[in-house]
Homo-oligomer: A and B are copies of this chain.
Amino acid sequence: MDKKVAVLGGGNGAFAMASDLALQGFEIRMWSKYPDEFREIKKTHMIKVSGPLIQGEAKISVVTDRIEEAIRGADLICSPIPAFTQTSVAESLLPHIEDGQVIFLSPGTFGSYLMSKRLREMGCRKDIAIGETGTLPFLTRKMSPVESRIVVRACNLPTGVFPARKTEEAIEKIRAVFPSVHPVEDALSGALMNAGPVIHPPLIVLNTGPIENPAPYDIHNEGTTPGIRKIISLLDEERIAVREAFGYKPNHYPLEDYYDETRPNEWMYPRISKKLLMESRLWYEKIDYKHRYATEDIACGLAFLNSAADYIGAAIPVARSLLCLAGGGAGVDFMKTGRTLQSVGLSHLPIEELRERLREGF
């Protein structure tokens, strides 16, 4: 019998993941709480897939706004949706999640902990595990309500599991669907692999002018200039310094491995990715402080990186500067409103207790 995979959400990531896995032979059940996202595929149960990697018509077995129809008996529950929806997804999952099920967040932004905590607070005692990785497994855009264009598929997905004691069994289940997954120490290590908070905040802040202007502009293309690359590198060095301060081991997946294809190590995406991304011209889109790059990667991801650095005592001047200026532009203090070790209730724990919580769970 085919493996059953629930894919939560109806955006870029969900459409790519559902259709790519369907074409590989998985039985796919898609759920979104917004029926409008499914208004076309609800009728046809088909997603057209285009792009350089893979083309075809992907059959989606279940298309529903009732989450239990998606997750019942699912071998894996995939949640490729923005971090700021994770608490709400946990609330939707609560009555239906089953013992032994595994949820895969791509990326996570420490959502594995946050969702577990929310489920626990609401009384859930099911024996589940949540894995989180450092990026969406695809570079992709939903071209229409019936078409996904997939430009790149990830080749390395470093993944932390909450609780970490369940790493082996959870990774086995995730890897049965995503062979490029490999385990890292724990959920925090997985969260500190997240590339979005390193790439997108510099691209937004240092391109504030052009993204606020009407002319088409691609922050990944003409917006990724030598000066901005330098800032991204410095920010990534800070992320890695935070990982090292927590004692996490390499491979830290330095973003240089993505930007410079001559380096020996392949990043999460294969070497050809940057070229394909730029050639696709799919990323000329309107970006503002309501875009996922801001609401997820700044408010959740970059604030979290700052708080992790504060907790462990690492100096991160570039991360702090970007968060300050992004907050100034958006009119908020992301350290107060965003996702932090404070806001998830962990900042008061000594490091040994934090490690134990990450390992043992609730």
Contact of A210 with B208 at beta-carbon distance under 8 Å, contacts A318-B324, A321-B322, A328-B234 already known: no
A231 contacts B329, C-beta separation under 8 Å: yes
Contact of A222 with B226 at beta-carbon distance under 8 Å, contacts A321-B321, A328-B318 already known: no
For residue A330, which residue of chain B has the nearest CB? B227
Residue A223 at the chain B interface, CB threshold 8 Å = yes
Contact of A225 with B207 at beta-carbon distance under 8 Å, contacts A317-B324, A325-B231 already known: no
Q: What 12 additional pairs, Cβ within 8 angstroms, besides A205-B205, A209-B223, A318-B325?
A: A207-B208, A207-B210, A208-B227, A208-B231, A209-B219, A209-B222, A209-B225, A212-B225, A212-B227, A234-B328, A321-B324, A322-B325
Interface-central residue, A231, A320, A321, A325, by most chain B CB under 10 Å: A325
Residue A206 at the chain B interface, CB threshold 8 Å = yes
Residue A154 at the chain B interface, CB threshold 8 Å = no
Q: 26 interchain pairs (CB within 8 A)? A: A205-B205, A205-B325, A206-B325, A207-B207, A208-B225, A208-B228, A209-B217, A209-B219, A209-B224, A209-B228, A210-B210, A212-B225, A212-B227, A227-B329, A230-B329, A230-B331, A231-B328, A234-B328, A317-B324, A318-B324, A318-B325, A318-B328, A320-B321, A321-B322, A321-B324, A322-B325
Residue A262 at the chain B interface, CB threshold 8 Å = no
A209 contacts B209, C-beta separation under 8 Å: yes
B209 contacts A213, C-beta separation under 8 Å: no
Residues of chain B with a CB closer than 8 A to A325's CB: 205-206, 231, 318, 321-322, 325
Give the oligomeric copy count. 2
Residues of chain B with a CB closer than 8 A to A208's CB: 206-207, 225, 227-228, 231
* Nearest 9 CB-CB pairings of A with B: A321-B321, A212-B225, A207-B209, A206-B208, A227-B329, A321-B324, A209-B223, A208-B227, A317-B324
Residues of chain B with a CB closer than 8 A to A228's CB: 208-209, 212, 329
User: How near does chain B come to A193, taking the closest CB pair, in angstroms?
Assistant: 22
A209 contacts B206, C-beta separation under 8 Å: yes
Inter-chain CA distance A227–B226, complex, in Å, is: 23
For residue A333, which residue of chain B has the nearest CB? B317
**Which of A213-244 touch B at CB < 8 Å?**
213, 217, 219, 222-228, 230-231, 234
Residues of chain B with a CB closer than 8 A to A205's CB: 205-206, 325
Residues of chain B with a CB closer than 8 A to A227's CB: 208, 212, 289, 329
B231 contacts A222, C-beta separation under 8 Å: no
Interface-central residue, A206, A207, A213, A234, by most chain B CB under 10 Å: A206
Residues of chain B with a CB closer than 8 A to A230's CB: 328-329, 331
**Which of A305-329 touch B at CB < 8 Å?**
317-318, 320-322, 324-325, 328-329
